[in-house]
Structure 1
């Protein structure tokens, strides 16, 4: 929980405790003081930390108790009795349930801090949009009809200034992330308040003349930003880490022109398919993902030579290239490692594909 979230929750708990005070004069004064403080915490929280749907009960409870406390102070005895009846209708049990539910929401959906990189180097980040003119997009429609990729890079950086880049690069994709889990669109909106440990567009560190390149592949229906901590930590140890959003295999990818693509490959793994069909579909998808990796590596060769503008020009050690991935991204890492430019690969929990076409 963030500071003013905690203060708001604490003030609401105090309001509940005050409702059990029998002395009406003491109770009235304490309610006014505490609800006033809670309302101040609420305003600061909304202005500084930002609105969260998980705290709706606290927002409503704080405002209502302030209104009822002001009624006690300024209005007639009849209005005071009405306010007292409202408080009784609310019921202490209802308030307890609301506070417990809010605490559960805050526990399950926290605004957390990502693990800090433990390497000696600072971390910078940059996002690239690559278009492959040699490939038609087969899983959906694109502006050019060609295969397009968004690739985020984390790299060793000089000491950065200003704020860290946000954990979520494109907050509009959060509703698609929730839909991917069958949840309401607002469920993960709190993630937009989480910061990374990387500086956008920071100068590349001068600690080494060049840094090994690692290509990363998210799992099926995942996203590049879910590898943020992993990439930041590797970058802090002296690696350039590029995680690929494999278009139409992510739950959502936003492009520079504002387009958002979602997963269209779900049907490839439908339980209605028989085993042979599943294998064929997996190989078909896998081939596209593997070529994505090779194409991305082509682009980093162009970045290294300066044909694609970037601060990484001349700083990529293309003689030391690795690849990793999770789930089908891990299978992609294995398959892509047959590229002679890639020295090593790690498959994290990924069932392999295209084995019939490969030598051991």
Structure 2
């Protein structure tokens, strides 16, 4: 079913004619963060020499990770959203024509590249973000910048060979080797397990004995992901007890929660249209897993977005005149996502009271609370 969803998204993109896209073309931009801290950004190239790559076994697993973090005020240059080559391959893979192929590399971000980070050792909670299948880590930048402005270190993992393009510092560009594999149930289980291993390795690198980011607090770690990344968040929590809380943003869960249950906090955040008969939907797997979530939990649905609306794909696409079929503007969906994701992490990593998670809000009437039982 997921393969058909990917094809449908590509089809929606292709519906927009080259002429109409070109006419709407402008420099895309990310909305300003809502927190009080300036945001810095840097990228890490990490190699797990203990593990073969699941998609290209002849190589060790290599990852590109983007870090967003609270920073000292700086007059430096804004961080690049993605490289020109990544932009070209991503737009081509999505079937979008009529735009400059390097356009996404010019996206206006809010983070300053290489800005000096704030905070002493173990002073900042750490959040890992995992993107949807075939999507680069950059597509969660708006959410990442917002969390960093609120005082979090955020690590966006690029799951190599699982997206349209990953460029390494030496100029190598690798594409989606996993896209050539049959997408059956075994494939999605393998994807989940691989992403959980990626996350655990990144946590080792960022918070271990030779921590590459000393301000990240190993006692306050959480994870969120969109689509396949949301499924991976749940799988990672089962496999790695360091991840104290997690969020699945509109992602069908591939690997069931064990019968023994998961007692750490978890949030499902998705579309209200999940309940429409005949539409592809994570609702069935969420109902299955809900019974085994034995700790704090919420199931929230938003009226009006489509799957892409929760990420920069919807946000930037809307700016460029692409019509995904959403009834709710992507900018509004982004605002809602930032608010509820931020509230969840403030509650469970900082123990701050968050009434937004207790009941429906007049500020966000599009959001409904579900109680499957």
TM range (shorter): 0.5 to 0.7
In structure 2, relative to structure 1, the CA distance for the partners of 1:181 and 1:208 (3 Å cut) is same
User: Any residues of structure 2 matched to 1:80-91 within 5 Å, and which?
Assistant: none
Match of 2:70 in 1: 156
The C-alpha deviation readout for 1:30-52, integer Å capped at 9, x for no partner, is xxxxxxxxxxxxxxxxxxxxxxx
Question: Match for 2:229 among 329, 333, 336?
Answer: 329
- Kindly indicate whether the alpha-carbon contact (under 8 Å) linking 1:176 and 1:185 is maintained by their aligned counterparts in 2: no
**Distance in 2 separating the partners of 1:216 and 1:356:** 20
In structure 2, relative to structure 1, the CA distance for the partners of 1:196 and 1:151 (3 Å cut) is same
Match of 2:188 in 1: 282
Query: RMSD between aligned alpha carbons?
Result: 2.5
In structure 2, relative to structure 1, the CA distance for the partners of 1:269 and 1:358 (3 Å cut) is farther
Match of 2:49 in 1: 133
Greater displacement, 280-289 / 348-357: 348-357
**Distance in 2 separating the partners of 1:164 and 1:204:** 15
- Kindly indicate whether the alpha-carbon contact (under 8 Å) linking 2:122 and 2:218 is maintained by their aligned counterparts in 1: no
- Kindly indicate whether the alpha-carbon contact (under 8 Å) linking 1:320 and 1:343 is maintained by their aligned counterparts in 2: yes
Q: Offset of 1:118 from its aligned partner?
A: 1.2
- Kindly indicate whether the alpha-carbon contact (under 8 Å) linking 1:215 and 1:323 is maintained by their aligned counterparts in 2: yes
Question: Match for 2:110 among 194, 197, 200?
Answer: 197
- Kindly indicate whether the alpha-carbon contact (under 8 Å) linking 2:67 and 2:156 is maintained by their aligned counterparts in 1: yes
In structure 2, relative to structure 1, the CA distance for the partners of 1:196 and 1:280 (3 Å cut) is same
Q: Offset of 1:104 from its aligned partner?
A: 5.3
| 1:298 equivalent in alignment to 2:186 | no
Match of 1:353 in 2: 254
**Distance in 1 separating the partners of 2:186 and 2:217:** 36
User: Higher relative contact order at CA 8 Å, sep ≥6: structure 1 or structure 2?
Assistant: 2
- Kindly indicate whether the alpha-carbon contact (under 8 Å) linking 1:179 and 1:185 is maintained by their aligned counterparts in 2: no
- Give the unaligned 5+ runs of structure 2: 1-17, 262-373
Match of 2:130 in 1: 217
| 1:181 equivalent in alignment to 2:87 | no
- Kindly indicate whether the alpha-carbon contact (under 8 Å) linking 2:45 and 2:63 is maintained by their aligned counterparts in 1: yes
Rg bigger for which structure? Answer: 1
The C-alpha deviation readout for 1:21-73, integer Å capped at 9, x for no partner, is xxxxxxxxxxxxxxxxxxxxxxxxxxxxxxxxxxxxxxxxxxxxxxxxxxxxx
**Distance in 1 separating the partners of 2:21 and 2:159:** 35
SS in 1 for 2:207: helix
Structure 2-normalised TM-score? 0.61
- Give the unaligned 5+ runs of structure 1: 1-100, 271-277
Match of 1:316 in 2: 216
Moved over 3 A (4+): 101-104, 183-188, 206-209, 267-270, 356-359
Match of 1:11 in 2: none
Match of 2:40 in 1: 124
Q: Offset of 1:324 from its aligned partner?
A: 0.4
Match of 1:57 in 2: none
SS in 2 for 1:105: helix
Q: Offset of 1:173 from its aligned partner?
A: 1.1
In structure 2, relative to structure 1, the CA distance for the partners of 1:194 and 1:183 (3 Å cut) is closer
Question: Match for 2:153 among 240, 247, 252?
Answer: 240
- Kindly indicate whether the alpha-carbon contact (under 8 Å) linking 1:121 and 1:238 is maintained by their aligned counterparts in 2: yes
Q: Offset of 1:183 from its aligned partner?
A: 3.8
- Kindly indicate whether the alpha-carbon contact (under 8 Å) linking 1:151 and 1:245 is maintained by their aligned counterparts in 2: yes
In structure 2, relative to structure 1, the CA distance for the partners of 1:358 and 1:188 (3 Å cut) is farther
In structure 2, relative to structure 1, the CA distance for the partners of 1:204 and 1:177 (3 Å cut) is same
**Distance in 1 separating the partners of 2:241 and 2:192:** 18
More helix, by proportion: 1
**Distance in 2 separating the partners of 1:226 and 1:353:** 21
**Distance in 1 separating the partners of 2:222 and 2:122:** 18
Q: Offset of 1:337 from its aligned partner?
A: 1.2
Match of 1:17 in 2: none
- Kindly indicate whether the alpha-carbon contact (under 8 Å) linking 1:213 and 1:321 is maintained by their aligned counterparts in 2: yes
User: Any residues of structure 2 matched to 1:258-277 within 5 Å, and which?
Assistant: 258-268=171-181, 270=183
- Kindly indicate whether the alpha-carbon contact (under 8 Å) linking 2:27 and 2:108 is maintained by their aligned counterparts in 1: no
Question: How many pairs does the alignment contain?
Answer: 244
Structure 1-normalised TM-score? 0.63
**Distance in 1 separating the partners of 2:75 and 2:21:** 36
